[in-house]
Amino acid sequence: MPATSSSDRSLSRAFSAARAEGRAALIPYVTAGHPRKHDTAAILDGLADAGADIIELGVPFSDPLADGPTIQRSSFEAIEQGVGLPWVVETLAAFRARRDTPVVLFTYLNPVLNHGVDRFLADAAAAGAQGVLLTDLPVGADAGIESRFAASPLDLVRLLAPTTTPARAREIAAAARGFLYYVSRTGVTGARQELQAGLAREVEEVRALTPVPVAVGFGISTPEQAATVARVADGVVVGSALVETLRTGGVDEGVAFVRALRKAVEGARAA
């Protein structure tokens, strides 16, 4: 059994609060240290103030295979500025002193192993993270690491793809904590003009497998698309489109984009 913790309550509370307002939770993703290292504090504060229910904070990694060119570039540019896991944890701790918006650290396994799994769990929890999404740690891949996460106060968020077999989907859904991240399409992350057909049916099928909320991401690039997803999912994750907006338009435009996403999500269920 996973440890009962403030992380459980925080992620659950975020989804419950959104549900009570008749809407999906908004979950923007940003890469720590991008576009400029010194912008990250202002970006995190801006996302919280713009209506993010949960923030996914990406840890820059040199080989981000699950990510498309936009987030890959953001990782490389952040690394060039000296951003690594220790700096991300310090930045999160400073943010937590100012805001209470739940944060999920989005990372790959290698930075965690390099930092030390137990040290990572302790540092991330102390800094105020509520969860972790490890893109390259499938359910059952390493029972030792998974058990250490289960005993920690951090939710290990799981990914589920549309190509997953029914038996494997049940296994992943049973292991999900905090929320289940459903990938809206195959391939890597990146903004797209159209969402996958049949998404509503797929989300309903996934929702039947797990008691935790189901958030949908990968390819959501406009407020209109966010509204479409918000009508069928418990949460909407927007990553590449926000990362690109921050790169080209800076903090103010990025925050304005998230405000537009929040407005679209709020209006989705009423439409």
Give 157: exposed, middle or buried? Use CB within 10 Å, 0-12, 13-18, 19+.
Answer: buried
Q: Is there a domain that residue 206 lies in?
A: yes
Task: Return the bridge partners of 162, or none.
Answer: none
Largest CA distance in the chain: 48
Q: Is there a domain that residue 1 lies in?
A: no
What's the pLDDT at 120?
A: 98
Q: Is there a domain that residue 89 lies in?
A: yes
Say which DSSP state 158 is in: E
CA distances from 133 to 56, 59, 109, 201, 240 (A): 9, 10, 10, 25, 16
What's the pLDDT at 4?
A: 42
Task: Please state the separation of Cα 262 from the chain's center in Å.
Answer: 16
Residue 105's domain is classified under what CATH number?
A: 3.20.20.70
Q: Which residues of the chain carry a pLDDT beneath 70?
A: 1-9, 185-197, 270-271
pLDDT tens-digit readout, 123-155: 999 999 999 999 999 999 999 999 999 999 999
pLDDT tens-digit readout, 88-114: 999 999 999 999 999 999 999 999 999
Catalytic residue ranges? 56, 67
Pairs from 72-80 (Cβ < 8 Å, separation ≥ 24): 73/247, 74/31, 74/34, 74/35, 74/243, 74/247, 75/31, 75/34, 77/33, 77/34, 77/35, 78/31, 78/32, 78/33, 78/34, 78/37, 79/33
What's the pLDDT at 189?
A: 44
Q: Is there a domain that residue 82 lies in?
A: yes
What's the pLDDT at 256?
A: 98
Number of domains, the chain: 1
129, amino acid identity: A
Expressed as residue numbers, the domain containing 171 is 6-268
> Distance between CA 109 and CA 138 in Å, rounded?
10
